Amino acid sequence: MFSFITAFSQEAPTNPFSFKWDNGFKLESQDKQFSLKFGGRIMVDHAYFFQNDELDSNFGPLLSKSGTEFRRARLFMSGTVYSNVEFKLQFDFASGEVAFKDMYIGLTDVPGVGNIRVGHVKEPFRLDALTSSKYITFMERSFFIDFSQERNNGILVFNDFFGERLSAQAGAFRMASNNGNDILADDGYVLTGRITGLAIQNSEKRQLLHLGLGYSYRKPESKTYSIASRPESHLELKYINTETIENVNNINLANFEAAFVSGPLSLQGEYLTATVNNNAEATFKKYNFDSYYGQVSYYITGESKNYKGSYEGFDRVKPKKNFGGKDKGAGAWEVALRYSNSDLENNDVLGGRQSDITLGLNWHLNPVTRIMINHVWANIENKGNASVLQGRLQIDF
């Protein structure tokens, strides 16, 4: 990093750098042509599991009734060069092995195009998936996150129109491993696109209405596809599972998303459908699966969810008064409720159907520290019921 800063200083001797705290450590030139930001996130989870006798008989008794993990442990470095070249390197260490997350080089404000990123990036698909895990309302995203990978290797193009009221993104990707490798090129390709609009945007009233449509065409070289989901707890078992579907020709995913914010109140929901088209060797030519969720949240201390943009989703919440310290405040408190459903049964695939209700409480001690408590009640159709009580302490900078 020292050589990186030295190179910048030699290249732009008339532009001294300032070093500041911007919810992370940031180095920036006076003319803002060059910048460097580095930071990370740590999320520590603990959970207690419960399942009824019916679920015990179908899946076996729980081997453990509690668990702890580092859900995420990441470091990143990002920056800009000559104002229109951007980059980001982000690694995750939570599993004990190094995995790529965001890893790209980009060009901004390209005439007639907008912005281009090449590397390991998030596909432009699903609002809750695009919102950073630092800012999502619940500890885990809904079932629909299991229908496809969030990130892949490829090229992404995106732009905003009409004063950022309309946004479009499109990308072509190869399915890569978590270290970004695709040497054998045997995992197929993906084409994903998304368009969103802000039907309402009023910063004074802290109101917005976000609507969007996304589509993804996926051609797996392995000719297989599967979906498996937990009860929205990363430490829990996967109770619904299609197992591996063979003879797959392509998969078509379509997603509708909506979010409404009015002061401390927010509503959000998405519906995703997957159509699996099989080749001539398959018994059934098509499978259809779907998933959806709806959630409501409210900041009892008066804060509001911040919208970062179409591709980034929602942003950091800053308490009116931080907990303790010189502010001697209470921080920001949010209560939330979500209902989610996933149907993985069609034709001869009996993956199961599940619906969850999640009650959440979030305490933002300051802009970078949050405590989360979730209670999940899960119903696995004709199989039994489970529940999870879980908590998280997170810091990001």
What pLDDT digit, counting tens, does each position of 353-372 carry? 999 999 999 999 999 999 99
Domain count, the chain: 1
Indicate whether 5 belongs to any domain.
Answer: no
Would you state the pLDDT for residue 209?
Answer: 99
Indicate whether 109 belongs to any domain.
Answer: yes
Would you state the pLDDT for residue 11?
Answer: 52
Query: The domain spanning residue 337 has which CATH number?
Result: 2.40.160.10
Residue 360 has a CB neighbour count (10 Å cut-off) of 19
The two tokens of residue 374 are 């979730």
Determine what percent of the chain is predicted with pLDDT higher than 90: 84
Tell which residue, 231, 234, 218, has the closest CA to residue 274.
218
> Mean per-residue pLDDT for 287-303?
98
Indicate whether 14 belongs to any domain.
Answer: no
Q: Given a cut of 80, is residue 108 above it in pLDDT?
A: yes
Amino acid at site 123? E
What is the distance of C-alpha 48 from the center of its chain? 24
Indicate whether 3 belongs to any domain.
Answer: no
pLDDT tens column, 52-101: 999 999 999 988 899 999 999 999 999 999 999 999 999 999 988 899 89
Do 27 and 37 touch, CB atoms closer than 8 A?
yes
In whole angstroms, give the CA distance from residue 204 to residue 178: 42
Mean pLDDT across the chain? 93
Tell which residue, 226, 222, 251, has the closest CA to residue 241.
226
Indicate whether 16 belongs to any domain.
Answer: no
Indicate whether 7 belongs to any domain.
Answer: no
pLDDT tens column, 173-193: 998 665 555 544 456 899 999
Please spell the DSSP secondary structure of 238-288, one letter per residue: --EE--PBPSEEEEEEEEEEEEEEETTEEEEEEEEEEEEEE-TTSSSSEEE
Task: Rank 3-7, 147-151, 333-337, 345-349 by mean pLDDT and report only the highest.
Answer: 333-337
CA-angle at 259, arms to 256 and 261, nearest 5° = 170
> Mean per-residue pLDDT for 26-48?
95
CA-angle at 331, arms to 330 and 336, nearest 5° = 110
Indicate whether 65 belongs to any domain.
Answer: yes
Indicate whether 39 belongs to any domain.
Answer: yes
Would you state the pLDDT for residue 33?
Answer: 94
Would you state the pLDDT for residue 13?
Answer: 53
* 105 three-class SS: strand
pLDDT tens column, 158-171: 999 999 999 999 99
Write down the pTM of the prediction: 0.92
In whole angstroms, give the CA distance from residue 76 to residue 39: 6
Residue 171 structural domain: 34-396
Question: Which tops the pLDDT comparison, 209 or 188?
Answer: 209
Would you state the pLDDT for residue 328?
Answer: 87
Measured in Å, how far apart are the chain's first and last C-alpha atoms?
17
In whole angstroms, give the CA distance from residue 120 to residue 156: 10
In whole angstroms, give the CA distance from residue 28 to residue 9: 11
